[in-house]
Amino acid sequence: MSEDFQSTSPIYMQLADRINRQILRGDLKPGEKLPSVREMGMQSNVNPNTVQRTYQVLEGSNIVESRRGQGTFVTEDPAILESMRERLKQEEISYFIGVMRDMGYTAEEIKAGIADFFKQTKEDLR
């Protein structure tokens, strides 16, 4: 999992985003134990203190929970997971729309472009 990090945001936040995405994709299941701070640090090639901060951020969002003496686990609360899923979706849509508007596209052009994209890739827009 040793991946490059961008200099545009703190590493602990980028690591938190990666873990959130792993949860969304189902790579990390509800109730699943995360690697220890030390293991995650080695896998990600970051300082364990950075991983600890990442886990604190995720715990503050209730995405994970620490169990004394056992480790850190993905929450099993479906409401929290659904809320996270919806929040991340809205953030990505907002970012995409912002970029498209910065390039001068209108709402109608953006909608048409998305519809065309799904037609070309033969994906359903349901």
CB 74 within 8 A of CB 31: yes
In terms of Cβ atoms closer than 10 Å to its own Cβ (0-12, 13-18, 19+), residue 91 is exposed
Residues 43 and 21 in one domain: yes
pLDDT (tens digit per residue) in 76-108: 999 999 999 999 999 999 999 999 999 999 999
Please indicate, yes or no, if residue 2 is contained in any of the structural domains: no
CB 64 within 8 A of CB 23: no
pTM for the model stands at 0.79
Q: How far apart are CA 121 and CA 63, in angstroms?
A: 33
Please indicate, yes or no, if residue 42 is contained in any of the structural domains: yes
Please indicate, yes or no, if residue 33 is contained in any of the structural domains: yes
Give the residue from 89, 86, 84 showing the smallest Cα distance to 28: 84
- The residue length of the chain stands at 126
Segments forming the whole domain that contains residue 105: 79-120
Q: What is the pLDDT of residue 18?
A: 94
CB 78 within 8 A of CB 39: no
Residue 43 DSSP symbol: H
Residues 114 and 89 in one domain: yes
Residue 124 pLDDT grade (very low, low, confident, very high; cuts 50, 70, 90):
low
pLDDT (tens digit per residue) in 33-79: 999 999 999 999 999 999 999 999 999 999 999 999 999 999 999 99
Q: What are the CA-CA distances from residue 111 to residues 29, 38, 104, 118 (Å)?
A: 33, 45, 14, 11
Residues 66 and 93 in one domain: no
Please indicate, yes or no, if residue 92 is contained in any of the structural domains: yes
